[in-house]
Amino acid sequence: MVHAQFDPTARRELAVAAVEAKIVKDVTWQQIADAAGFSVAYTTAAVLGQHALPEPAARAVAGLLGLDEDAVRLLRTIPTRGSIDGGIPTDPTIYRFHEMLQVYGTTLKALVHEEFGDGIISAINFKLDVKKVADPEGGERAVITLDGKYLPTKPF
Protein backbone atom coordinates (compact mmCIF):
# COMPACT_ATOMS: atom_id res chain seq x y z
CA MET A 1 0.00 0.00 0.00
CA VAL A 2 1.21 3.50 -0.80
CA HIS A 3 1.42 5.92 2.12
CA ALA A 4 1.97 9.68 2.25
CA GLN A 5 3.95 11.68 4.78
CA PHE A 6 2.86 14.97 6.25
CA ASP A 7 5.87 15.59 8.49
CA PRO A 8 9.18 15.68 6.61
CA THR A 9 11.30 14.97 9.72
CA ALA A 10 11.69 11.22 9.20
CA ARG A 11 12.67 11.64 5.55
CA ARG A 12 15.20 14.35 6.45
CA GLU A 13 16.75 12.04 9.04
CA LEU A 14 16.85 9.22 6.48
CA ALA A 15 18.51 11.54 3.96
CA VAL A 16 21.24 12.34 6.49
CA ALA A 17 21.76 8.63 7.24
CA ALA A 18 21.78 7.74 3.54
CA VAL A 19 24.37 10.39 2.69
CA GLU A 20 26.53 9.23 5.61
CA ALA A 21 26.26 5.62 4.35
CA LYS A 22 27.06 6.78 0.80
CA ILE A 23 30.26 8.39 2.09
CA VAL A 24 31.26 5.40 4.25
CA LYS A 25 30.60 2.94 1.42
CA ASP A 26 32.31 5.29 -1.06
CA VAL A 27 29.60 4.99 -3.72
CA THR A 28 28.44 7.58 -6.22
CA TRP A 29 24.93 8.84 -6.88
CA GLN A 30 25.20 7.14 -10.28
CA GLN A 31 25.92 3.78 -8.61
CA ILE A 32 22.90 4.26 -6.35
CA ALA A 33 20.78 5.17 -9.39
CA ASP A 34 22.02 2.09 -11.25
CA ALA A 35 20.93 -0.08 -8.30
CA ALA A 36 17.53 1.64 -8.20
CA GLY A 37 17.02 1.44 -11.96
CA PHE A 38 16.12 5.12 -12.34
CA SER A 39 17.92 8.25 -13.52
CA VAL A 40 20.59 9.73 -11.31
CA ALA A 41 18.57 12.93 -10.84
CA TYR A 42 15.36 11.12 -9.83
CA THR A 43 17.17 8.66 -7.55
CA THR A 44 19.20 11.39 -5.85
CA ALA A 45 16.03 13.42 -5.26
CA ALA A 46 14.32 10.31 -3.83
CA VAL A 47 17.18 9.51 -1.45
CA LEU A 48 17.25 13.17 -0.37
CA GLY A 49 13.53 12.97 0.44
CA GLN A 50 11.78 14.49 -2.59
CA HIS A 51 10.33 11.40 -4.32
CA ALA A 52 9.03 7.96 -3.42
CA LEU A 53 10.69 4.85 -4.80
CA PRO A 54 8.87 1.65 -5.76
CA GLU A 55 9.58 -1.24 -3.40
CA PRO A 56 12.21 -3.02 -5.55
CA ALA A 57 14.15 0.23 -6.00
CA ALA A 58 13.84 1.13 -2.31
CA ARG A 59 15.16 -2.31 -1.35
CA ALA A 60 18.04 -2.04 -3.83
CA VAL A 61 19.05 1.40 -2.52
CA ALA A 62 18.76 0.33 1.11
CA GLY A 63 20.74 -2.83 0.39
CA LEU A 64 23.54 -0.96 -1.35
CA LEU A 65 23.76 1.58 1.47
CA GLY A 66 23.28 -0.92 4.30
CA LEU A 67 20.06 0.71 5.52
CA ASP A 68 17.38 -1.12 7.50
CA GLU A 69 13.77 -2.10 6.82
CA ASP A 70 12.51 1.23 8.23
CA ALA A 71 14.56 2.98 5.54
CA VAL A 72 12.93 0.83 2.85
CA ARG A 73 9.49 1.81 4.19
CA LEU A 74 10.39 5.51 4.27
CA LEU A 75 11.91 5.45 0.78
CA ARG A 76 8.55 4.11 -0.45
CA THR A 77 6.40 6.83 1.16
CA ILE A 78 5.19 9.86 -0.76
CA PRO A 79 7.10 12.74 0.85
CA THR A 80 6.18 16.27 1.75
CA ARG A 81 8.13 17.91 -1.06
CA GLY A 82 10.11 21.12 -0.95
CA SER A 83 13.46 21.02 0.76
CA ILE A 84 14.46 24.64 1.24
CA ASP A 85 13.20 25.98 4.55
CA GLY A 86 13.09 29.59 5.56
CA GLY A 87 13.00 31.52 2.30
CA ILE A 88 16.25 32.48 0.58
CA PRO A 89 18.73 29.59 0.58
CA THR A 90 22.16 30.10 2.10
CA ASP A 91 24.03 27.18 0.53
CA PRO A 92 26.11 28.76 -2.28
CA THR A 93 25.19 26.18 -4.93
CA ILE A 94 21.46 26.29 -4.18
CA TYR A 95 21.58 30.07 -3.87
CA ARG A 96 22.99 30.35 -7.42
CA PHE A 97 19.85 28.62 -8.74
CA HIS A 98 17.73 31.01 -6.69
CA GLU A 99 19.76 33.89 -8.15
CA MET A 100 19.34 32.56 -11.70
CA LEU A 101 15.57 32.56 -11.24
CA GLN A 102 15.68 36.03 -9.68
CA VAL A 103 17.51 37.30 -12.77
CA TYR A 104 15.93 35.14 -15.49
CA GLY A 105 12.57 34.12 -13.98
CA THR A 106 10.54 36.82 -15.72
CA THR A 107 12.44 36.14 -18.96
CA LEU A 108 11.68 32.42 -18.77
CA LYS A 109 8.02 33.19 -18.05
CA ALA A 110 7.79 35.59 -21.00
CA LEU A 111 9.48 33.19 -23.41
CA VAL A 112 7.48 30.15 -22.29
CA HIS A 113 4.20 32.05 -22.57
CA GLU A 114 5.13 33.47 -25.97
CA GLU A 115 6.04 30.02 -27.25
CA PHE A 116 3.25 27.98 -25.61
CA GLY A 117 0.56 30.37 -24.37
CA ASP A 118 -0.86 30.65 -20.86
CA GLY A 119 0.12 27.69 -18.69
CA ILE A 120 2.93 26.11 -16.70
CA ILE A 121 5.78 23.64 -17.07
CA SER A 122 5.15 20.57 -14.95
CA ALA A 123 7.53 19.63 -12.16
CA ILE A 124 5.75 16.25 -11.93
CA ASN A 125 5.98 15.12 -15.57
CA PHE A 126 9.59 16.28 -15.57
CA LYS A 127 13.14 15.18 -16.32
CA LEU A 128 16.36 16.73 -15.08
CA ASP A 129 19.87 16.17 -16.39
CA VAL A 130 23.23 17.61 -15.37
CA LYS A 131 26.28 17.32 -17.63
CA LYS A 132 29.84 18.58 -17.35
CA VAL A 133 31.25 19.87 -20.65
CA ALA A 134 34.55 21.47 -21.61
CA ASP A 135 34.53 25.25 -21.91
CA PRO A 136 36.27 26.33 -25.15
CA GLU A 137 37.69 29.26 -23.19
CA GLY A 138 39.17 26.90 -20.59
CA GLY A 139 37.75 25.12 -17.57
CA GLU A 140 34.39 23.41 -17.45
CA ARG A 141 30.75 24.35 -17.84
CA ALA A 142 27.59 22.90 -16.34
CA VAL A 143 24.76 22.10 -18.74
CA ILE A 144 21.50 21.68 -16.85
CA THR A 145 18.46 20.48 -18.76
CA LEU A 146 14.98 21.01 -17.30
CA ASP A 147 12.52 19.01 -19.40
CA GLY A 148 8.92 19.40 -18.24
CA LYS A 149 5.58 18.78 -19.89
CA TYR A 150 3.73 21.97 -20.79
CA LEU A 151 0.29 22.19 -19.17
CA PRO A 152 -1.98 24.86 -20.67
CA THR A 153 -4.35 26.81 -18.46
CA LYS A 154 -7.90 25.66 -19.18
CA PRO A 155 -10.82 28.04 -18.71
CA PHE A 156 -13.76 26.62 -16.79
The DSSP output letter for 37 is T
Tell if the pTM clears 0.85, that is, is over it: no
- Any idea which of 22-26, 85-89, 115-119, 143-147 has the lowest mean pLDDT? 85-89
Give Cα separations from 70 to 58, 66, 79, 97, 110 (angstroms).
11, 12, 15, 33, 45
User: 9-76: what fold?
Assistant: 434 Repressor (Amino-terminal Domain) (1.10.260)
Q: What is the CATH number of domain 92-152?
A: 3.30.1160.10
pLDDT digit string (tens) for 90-117?
A: 889 999 999 999 999 999 999 999 999 9
Domain ranges of the chain: 9-76, 92-152
pLDDT at 86 over 80: no
Nearest to 55 by CA among 31, 37, 82, 28: 37
Please determine, for residue 45, whether its predicted confidence score (pLDDT) is greater than 90.
yes
Q: Hey, which residues are catalytic here?
A: 96, 99, 122
> What is the C-alpha separation between 108 and 71, in angstroms, rounded?
38
